[in-house]
Amino acid sequence: MSPDEANATAPPQGLPSAHSEGPPESWVNLAAFDNPEYAPGRGVILRTIWYYCSLLLLESGWLPVSGLKARMLRLFGANIGVGLVIKPHVRIKYPWRLTVGDHCWIGQGVWIDNIEDVRIGSHVCVSQLAYFCTGSHDYRRRNFDLAARPIAVRDGAWIGARATLLPGVSIGANAIVAGGSVVTKSVDAAAIVGGNPAKLLARRQPPTANA
């Protein structure tokens, strides 16, 4: 092999070769990950029962009636108002950490990953495949410690399809999050935001008339 051929097949400087004797030292140690201070809010037996109930009746889409799904969520500790419309294949991590106001819509494939509290006001529309992410990790610590913060969505807001809300954000009343957006900071009332990260696009105006 010529020197030029050897240089062409060598890994870039500073990167490990696939045939090196060992991986570079990781800055995190996931084997030591532990959350002794985190409490999921219910014991392992109830969490296991909820897991299978959710899998069979909520996530599967086999239960088409919103009212029955709302009753099941209440049975497991959720605070659900009247008039909830909940589409198939919705995933809710812990119903006892979920509050939903009156006359809300939760679209198909929505994932509410609420290891911390998620509070949704009244007349809120959460469109298809939106993701509520309440948990993250502290990358500055070698044990990759859990960092969880609540999410709130105020009355009249609209969360667009495939939008992602990150830990700790609050969506103001009547605000709109455009589809596909990633919200990293709280959104003011009546603001229209979009993009990754989401930024202010416009201000929402009150409706001029009822249909």
Res. 172: pLDDT tops 60 = yes
CB-based contact 93:87 (threshold 8 Å): no
**What's the pTM value of the predicted model, to 2 decimals?**
0.86
C-alpha angle with apex 49: 45 to 50, nearest 5 degrees? 115
- HEC assignment per residue over 15-56: CCCCCCCCCCCCCCCHHHCCCCCCCCCCCHHHHHHHHHHHHH
Percent of the chain clearing pLDDT 70 (strictly above): 89
Q: What is the per-residue pLDDT for 5?
A: 47
pLDDT of residue 208: 85
Lowest-confidence region among 10-14, 68-72, 120-124: 10-14
pLDDT above 90: residue 211: no
The 3-state DSSP class for residue 5 equals helix
137 included as an active-site residue: yes
Mean pLDDT of the chain: 91
Place of tokens 């202010």: 200
Q: Is the pLDDT of residue 91 over 60?
A: yes
CA distances from 165 to 46, 102, 160 (A): 27, 21, 11
Strand partners, 126: 106, 159
> Lowest-confidence range among 15-24, 45-54, 61-70, 169-178?
15-24
Q: Whole-angstrom Cα distance, residue 127 to residue 208?
A: 24
Burial class of residue 150, CB neighbours in 10 A (0-12, 13-18, 19+):
middle
